[in-house]
A = this chain, B = another copy of it.
Amino acid sequence: MSERWKVVIVGGGFGGLSAALRLNSDLVDVTLIDRRNYHLFQPLLYQVATGSLSAGEVASPLRSVLSRQKNTRVWLGTVVDIDPDSKRVFLADGTIVPYDSLIVAAGSQTSYFGHDEWQEWAPGMKSVEEATAIRHKILYAFEVAERLSDPVQRRAWLTFLIVGAGPTGVELSGAIAEIARQTLKNDFRSIHPEEAQIILLDGAPRVLMPFPDDLAEKASRSLAKLGVEVRCGATVKLVNKEGLTIDSGGRTDSIPAKTVIWAGGITASPLGKIVASRTKVESDKGGRVKVKSDLTIPNYPDIYVVGDLAWAADANGKPWPGVAQVAMQGGTYAAKAILRRVKNQPELPPFHYFDKGSLAVIGRAAAVADVFGLHISGFLAWLVWAFIHITYLVSFQSRILVFIQWAIQDLTFSRGARLITGRAPTDFNFNSEVSQMHRMPETKPEPVHALH
């Protein structure tokens, strides 16, 4: 046989990978195209940024996830265009890939709301490279502060601003607070890392907007206990080398900070606009593609759009959130629909997103969770969180190591992956910055401030 139904999947994230795994069938030939050779478990990326896990522990090579699935090939490539009429996908290198069914799952990227120039000073949290750069920035900031004697400069290097109080921002600020107050507490001689100021900003009136009020309230209290200062109702006006300017209800404030991290918003992959234009369908202002209730594009029943790139709503008109669960369920749905079509079986009922709940971790062994409508917090919520994440990771690889690592770190407060490697996008230049202000004091190192 040679003419099996050809399915092309664009993107190896939650949506694309779920589809590929569900298409494990002799009836179809699957080609999964991604710019990366790995599937990234985004929800744990903040742990890479804060030195708890290595990149290799939150990402799995797509080839190894799919190696046993003989009908599937993985291609490293960038999709730049599609022709929905001749049913072909175009890669940046000129390769043309024909399809019978296409699943577009290209996902989203960080949005600076029209201020892409902020990216230089406030890296986002979408890729392994960005997470590594953020880790570099955070650890480097303490190194620089250790070398400075000017208290104002030192303060700026020990101020960490996190923009966006969604789950990523909350998790990140909690983790940075723990680094400062626990992990590094004995490591420095001139500074006291626990003096670091960690500020979590959001334009919304409270943290964790998608969560119920009571859990958001609990999360706020946990953050305060960790020493994170939460400023809600604050809009970012400017980000540059010196820090950040915010507008809080008309009042403008400038906060000097050498480390700003952007967990502020996402926008659809640029492929969304291309697909929308080729298929003459609407896209929203975030660049997401309007899909029908079966996740296909109107007039193009062979093109599915799933995950963050899809713009649709449930029966009540409430749009689906941009979370992993929506993408996974969408990918599986598209795969099932394609298999039904190949087998000439009746169509599936419309896609329905089944919301299992939301989770956010705040520091060590604490979390808030809204699971099947049940509101839990504290250590129990953390256990739920750990269980769900480990289960997912283990489903791909022997990720039991991650769990062991967490256990060790929780016992020791240490972080294994605390290396400054490569160059951060806004690398500090010791040569130009330190020289003006500091000579090594001739006195002995001060004793480290005792902690209780």
Chain B contacts for A55, CB-based, 8 A: 54, 417, 419, 421
Complex Cα–Cα for A142 and B128 (A): 21
Q: A54-B417, A61-B419, A187-B63 are in contact. Are A412 and B398 (CB under 8 A)?
A: yes
Q: Which of the 9-residue segments A13-21, A67-75, A167-175, A286-294 touches chain B?
A: A67-75
Asked if A56 and B417 sit within 8 Å, CB to CB, the answer is yes
Chain B contacts for A416, CB-based, 8 A: 56-57, 397-398, 401
Complex Cα–Cα for A51 and B59 (A): 13
The minimal Cβ–Cβ distance linking A449 to chain B, given in whole angstroms, is 12
Contact of A435 among B93, B405, B435 (CB under 8 A): B93
- A312: interface (CB < 8 Å): no
Asked if B38 and A440 sit within 8 Å, CB to CB, the answer is no
Chain B contacts for A419, CB-based, 8 A: 37-38, 55-56, 59, 61, 128
| Contact-residue bracket for chain A | 35 or more
Asked if A444 and B2 sit within 8 Å, CB to CB, the answer is yes
Asked if B54 and A420 sit within 8 Å, CB to CB, the answer is no
Q: Which of the 9-residue segments A94-102, A226-234, A338-346, A376-384 touches chain B?
A: A94-102
Complex Cα–Cα for A279 and B422 (A): 34
Which residues between 1 and 39 of chain A lie within 8 Å of chain B, taking CB atoms? 1-2, 4, 29, 31, 36-38
Complex Cα–Cα for A200 and B87 (A): 47
The minimal Cβ–Cβ distance linking A75 to chain B, given in whole angstroms, is 7
Chain B contacts for A92, CB-based, 8 A: 430-431
- A205: interface (CB < 8 Å): no
Asked if B29 and A444 sit within 8 Å, CB to CB, the answer is yes
Complex Cα–Cα for A189 and B63 (A): 10
Nearest B residue to A405, CB-CB = B401
Asked if A435 and B95 sit within 8 Å, CB to CB, the answer is yes
The minimal Cβ–Cβ distance linking A87 to chain B, given in whole angstroms, is 13
- A143: interface (CB < 8 Å): yes
Considering residues A420, A440, A442, which has the most beta carbons from chain B within 10 angstroms of its beta carbon?
Answer: A440
The minimal Cβ–Cβ distance linking A196 to chain B, given in whole angstroms, is 15
Chain B contacts for A73, CB-based, 8 A: 146, 189-190, 445
Asked if B420 and A38 sit within 8 Å, CB to CB, the answer is yes
- A224: interface (CB < 8 Å): no
Asked if A434 and B93 sit within 8 Å, CB to CB, the answer is yes
The minimal Cβ–Cβ distance linking A261 to chain B, given in whole angstroms, is 19
Please, what's the 1-or-0 string for A433-446, where 1 marks a CB less than 8 Å from any CB in chain B? 11100111011110
Q: A56-B54, A64-B418, A401-B408 are in contact. Are A431 and B93 (CB under 8 A)?
A: yes
- A447: interface (CB < 8 Å): yes
Asked if B96 and A56 sit within 8 Å, CB to CB, the answer is no
Nearest B residue to A184, CB-CB = B63
Contact of A440 among B64, B97, B190, B443 (CB under 8 A): B97
- A152: interface (CB < 8 Å): no
Asked if B93 and A421 sit within 8 Å, CB to CB, the answer is no
Asked if A63 and B188 sit within 8 Å, CB to CB, the answer is yes
- A139: interface (CB < 8 Å): yes
Contact of A77 among B36, B67, B430 (CB under 8 A): B430
Chain B contacts for A38, CB-based, 8 A: 418-420
- A129: interface (CB < 8 Å): yes
Considering residues A1, A29, A422, which has the most beta carbons from chain B within 10 angstroms of its beta carbon?
Answer: A422
Complex Cα–Cα for A258 and B51 (A): 33
Considering residues A56, A59, A76, A444, which has the most beta carbons from chain B within 10 angstroms of its beta carbon?
Answer: A56
- A155: interface (CB < 8 Å): no
Asked if B448 and A70 sit within 8 Å, CB to CB, the answer is yes
Please, what's the 1-or-0 string for A403-419, where 1 marks a CB less than 8 Å from any CB in chain B? 01100100010101111
> Can you list 10 A-B pairs, Cβ within 8 angstroms, ordered by A?
A2-B444, A56-B419, A63-B187, A74-B187, A77-B430, A92-B430, A93-B431, A129-B421, A398-B408, A404-B404
Given contact pairs A93-B435, A397-B414, enumerate 14 new A-B contacts (beta carbons under 8 Å). Answer: A37-B143, A55-B417, A55-B421, A56-B417, A61-B419, A67-B187, A73-B190, A74-B187, A76-B143, A76-B147, A94-B431, A98-B440, A128-B421, A129-B421
The 9 closest A-B pairs by CB, nearest first: A94-B435, A56-B417, A54-B54, A63-B187, A67-B186, A73-B189, A93-B430, A93-B434, A76-B143
